[in-house]
Structure 1
Amino acid sequence: MSDRTIDPPLSPPPEPVTEPLPPARNPRDPVRVAVVGLFVIALLFTLYFGRDVLLPIMLALILSLLLRPCVRGLYRLGLPEALGAAVVVIVVFGAGLGAIFTLATPATEWVNRMPRVVHELEFKLGDIREGIDRAREASRQIEQMASDRNGTAREVVVRGPSLAEQVLHQAEAVIANVVILQVLLYFFLARGRQSLEALIGTMRDVDDRVHYAMVAATVQQNIAAYLATITVINIGLGLATTLAMWLWGVPNAALWGTLAGLINYVPFIGPAVMTAVLFLVSALTFDGGVHIFGPPLTFVALTMMEGNFLTPMIVGRRLALNPIAVFVSILFWGWMWGIPGALLAVPILAILKILFDAHEPLKPIGALLG
C-alpha cells in the first residue's frame, strides 16, 4: 500500500454574486409623453381660438340630442325625417323669437334705467361709496406723488369704436351665429342618424360596429332624457320664481323668472348670480328690510329645494356627476367659450362620462366624473 494520501476533490468555485439589473427604460416613453403633451396643448389652442366655429357646432349637436325624440315622433306619424327636422327647428326658434320679443320691452326698460339705477344704488349705499371714494382719492394721491418724482407723465388716449358701433357689431355676430346654428341643427336632425350609421358601417370588425352602435344609442337616450328632464325642471323653477316675484310685488316678474330658468343650466354659479340680481332689483324697488331681502331669500329657498330634493329624485343616479367635476367643467368651458361655454359645461361633461364608461381603459376617469 502506498503512503500517498489522496487529495480531496476540488470544490467548484463559488458563483459570483450578481445584483439584479434595474428594469430597462423604454426609450420611447419620454417621446410618448412629449407627444401627448403637445397634443393636449394643440387641443386647448384649437378649442380656444376656434370657439367661433366650434361653439355653434357643439350647441347644435347637444340640441339635436335633445330634439331627436321629437323628430322620431313625427316620423312615426308619417312625416319624413327631413320635413320633421324642419318643423322642429321652425317651432323651437319661433318660440324662442316670440319669448325674446315678449321680454324685450322690460329688458330694454331696465337697460335704459341703468344710469338712474347706479345713482339710486350710490344713494342707498352711501357709506360704502364714501369708503370707496376715500380709497380712490388715496390711490390718486399716490399716483400723483409717483408722477412728480419721475417727471411729468404723458397721458395717451386710445379711441375705440363707439357704443353704437359695438352694439351693431355684436348684433351682426349674434344673427350670424343664430343662422349657422339653425342650419347645423337642421342637418344634425335630418341627416345625423344616417351619417352615424354610415360611419359605423365602415368598421371591419362586427364587434366594434355593435359596440359603437350601442355607445351611440346610450349617448342619445341618456343625454336626451337628462336634458329634457333638466329643461322641465328649469321651466318649473322659472314659473315658480315668476309667481314668487309677482307675490312680492317685484316689477317684471316674468323677466326674472325667465332669467332664473335659463341661468339655472349653470349649477352653483347660476343661482348665486341670480340671487345677487334679485337682491339688487329688490334694493332698487323697495325701502323696507323685509321686502329687500324677501325676494332673494325666496329664490334661494326655491333653488335649495330644486337642487337638493327635486333634481336628485327625478334625475336619479344614472347620470349623477361629481360636484367637483361639474364646478371644474364650468370654470374650464366658461374660460374657453364664455357664457355659452358655461351653459354647455354640464351636458359636455355628461357626454364625456358616458364615453369614458364605454371604454375599458377610460373607466377610471368615468368613475371619477360620476
Structure 2
Amino acid sequence: MTDPAPSPAPAPDAAGVPPPVRPSPPALTVGVVGLFILALLYTVYFGRDVLLPICLALLLSLLLRPVVRGLYRCGLPDWLGAAVVVVGVCTAGGVAFTTLSIPAAAWVERMPRLVNDLQVKLSDIRESLDRARKASEQIESIAGPSNPQEVVIRGPSLARQVLSHTEAVIANVVIMLVLLYFFLARGRISLETVIGTMRSVDDRVHYALLAATVQQNIAAYLATITIINICLGLATAGAMWAVGLPNPALWGTLAGVLNYIPFIGPGVVTVILALAGALTFDTPAQMLVPPVVFVALTTLEGNVLTPLIVGRRLALNPIAVFVSILFWGWMWGVPGALLAVPILAVFKIVCDAHGPLKAVGAVLGQAPPVPLTGGSAAAPAAGSRR
C-alpha cells in the first residue's frame, strides 16, 4: 500500500514570490476569540460607571426576589411589592448612614489630637525613626547635589475631590435603585417572555428549569453569606463594646461589610482596629485586645461557621476567589472587590447548571447539591405566575 502523495507547494507567481499562506481555521478562531476577550475587558474597565450599578442591582434583585414573591403571596402585585422592597432598602440604608456617619465624623474630627497622643505613646519608636532619617539625610547630602531643585505639581483640592466622588456615588446609588425596582417588578415577566419565544417545547422547559435552578441557588448563597456577615458584624460590635472601644456599631458595620472581601477585608479591619486601639488605650496590652479579639472571631467564622453552612451548598476554590478579588478590584476598585465573590459564585452556579460549562464550574469549586431535575421548578419561568 503506497503512501498518499504530499500536497503540492503553492506555485510562485511570475516574479518568483510564493503567495501568502492563509491561516488555518483553528488559528483564525483563536485570534478572533483573543480579540473578543480584549474588547470585552476594555469595555468592562471603561464602562464601570454604567456596569457597576447594573451588577449591584442585579445581585440585590436576586437576593430580594424571595421577599417580593412572599409579598405577592400575601396579595401584593409585583410592581407594588418591588416598590415596598426598594423603599425598605432606602430606609434601612438612610438610617444606617445617619447613625454611622456621626461617629465616623467624630473620629475624623478627633484625628489630629489622637495622632498627637499616639506620637506621645510611641515616642521611643519615633526617636529611633528620627535618628535613622537624619542619618539618611546626611548620606544624601554627601552623595547628592548641594542645592537640589524640587518641582511641585498641585492637583485638585481635597474638597473638590470629595465633592466629585460624592456626586458620582449619589448618581450610581440612584441608578442602582431604579434598576433594582425594574428588576424586581419586571424581571420575571421579561424572562418568561424570552423563554416563551422559543419554538421547541423541550427548549422552553430546559431553559425555564435552568433559570429557576440558577435563581434559587444564587438567592440561597447570597442570603446565607449576608446572614453570616451580619452575625459577624453583631459579634464584632458586641466584642468591641465589651473591651471598651468607642463606637462599637461603627466597627461592627465595617467588619460585616468588608467581610464580603475574603482574605483582604478581615485584614483591613484588623489594621483599623489596631489603630483605633492604639488611639484609645494607654498600655500596649490594651491596644492589642481589639485586633486580637477580631482575629479570633473572623478565624472562627472563616474556618468553622462558613464551611459548615456554605460548604453544603457551594464551596469556591480559594485560588479562584483570590484571583477574582484581584481582577475585579483592578477593574472597579473597592466596589469591584466587594462584588468579586458574589460574581464568581453566580458564574459558577451558571456553569454548574449548564452542561457544556460544567468543567469550568468544577475548576471554580465544589458543585452545589441541588440537581437540575424535576418539573415543578420550571413553573415560574414557563408561563405560570408562581
* Residues 280-299 of structure 1 mapped to structure 2, 5 A cutoff: 280-299=275-294
Cα-to-partner distance string for 1:214-251 (whole Å, 9 max, x where unaligned): 22112211111111111111111111111111110111
| Pair 1:213-2:204 in alignment | no
Determine the C-alpha separation between the residues in 2 that align with 1:174 and 1:109: 22
* Residue number in structure 2 paired with 1:114: 111
CA pair 31-290 structure 1, distance change in 2 beyond 3 A? same
**Aligned-pair CA distance for 1:208:** 2.6
Shift of 1:85: 0.3
- 2: distance between equivalents of 1:20 and 1:59? 62
Q: Which amino acid aligns with 1:49?
A: F
Aligned-partner Cα distance in 2 for 1:354–1:20: 51
* Selected match of 2:263 from 259, 262, 268: 268
- From 325, 332, 336, the counterpart of 2:331: 336
Larger mean CA deviation between 288-297 and 44-53 belongs to 288-297
1:41 matched to 2:38? The reply is: yes
- Offset, 1:156: 3.2
Change (3 A) 1:76 1:113: same
Contact 2:210 2:354 in 1 (8 A): no
Pair 1:56–1:135, CA change in 2 (3 A): farther
Residue of structure 1 equivalent to 2:92: 95
| Separation of aligned partners in 2, 1:194 and 1:365 | 30
Secondary structure of the equivalent of 1:71?
helix
Number of the residue aligned with 2:189: 194
Tell me which amino acid in the other structure corresponds to 1:78.
G
SS at match of 2:260: coil
TM-score where L is the length of structure 2: 0.84
Q: CA deviation at 1:71?
A: 0.5
Cα shift at 1:74: 0.6
Structure 1 residue 257: deviation in Å? 0.9
CA distance in 2, matches of 1:287, 1:145: 41
Q: Percent identity?
A: 69
Report which stretch shifted further, 162-171 or 66-75. Answer: 162-171
Aligned residue identity for 2:361: G
| Contiguous gaps of at least 5 residues in structure 2 | 8-21, 366-386
Q: Partners in 1 of 2:294 and 2:132 — Cα distance? A: 34
1:314 aligns with 2:302: no
The worse-fitting range, judged by mean Cα deviation, of 319-328 and 126-135 is 126-135
Partners in 2 of 1:170 and 1:256 — Cα distance? Answer: 23
- Amino acid aligned to 2:49: D
Q: 1:58: how far off?
A: 0.1
Matched with 1:11 is none
Q: Per-residue deviation at 1:211?
A: 2.2
Query: Secondary structure in 2 aligned to 1:316?
Result: helix
Give the match's secondary structure for 1:158. Answer: coil
Q: 2:40 corresponds to which letter in structure 1? A: L
**Is contact 2:100-2:250 (8 Å) kept?**
yes
CA distance in 1, matches of 2:127, 2:330: 34
Which letter does structure 2 place at the counterpart of 1:124? K
Where structure 1 has 5 or more consecutive residues not aligned to the other structure, the ranges are: 1-14
Q: 1:280 & 1:254 partners in 2: Cα distance? A: 17
TM, length-normalised to structure 1: 0.88
Aligned residue for 2:66? 69
Cα RMSD of the aligned pairs, angstroms, is 2.4
For 2:156 and 2:69, the matched residues in 1 are separated by 48
Report Cα offsets for 1:242-295 as digits up to 9, x if no partner. 111111011111111111111111111111111111111111111223322222
* The one of 53, 58, 64 aligned to 2:55: 58
Deviates most, 118-127 or 294-303: 118-127
Residue matched to 1:104: 101
8 Å contact kept, 2:218–2:349 = no
Tell me the SS of whatever aligns to 2:155. coil
Displacement, 1:213? 1.7
Whole-angstrom distance in 1 between the partners of 2:194 and 2:143: 67
Number of residue-to-residue matches in the alignment: 351
What is the Cα deviation at residue 154 of structure 1? 4.8
Q: Could you tell me how far 1:126 is from its partner in structure 2? A: 3.6
Structure 1 residue aligned with 2:245: 250
30-39 vs 53-62, which deviates more?
A: 30-39
Out of 352, 357, 360, the residue aligned to residue 362 of structure 1 is 357
Retained in 1: the 8 A contact 2:44–2:331?
A: yes
Larger Rg: 1
- Tell me which amino acid in the other structure corresponds to 2:259: N
Name the aligned partner's letter for residue 327 of structure 1.
F
Q: Distance in 2 between matches of 1:112 and 1:187?
A: 41
Check 1:128–1:79 CA distance in 2 against 1; reply closer, same or farther (3 A cut): same
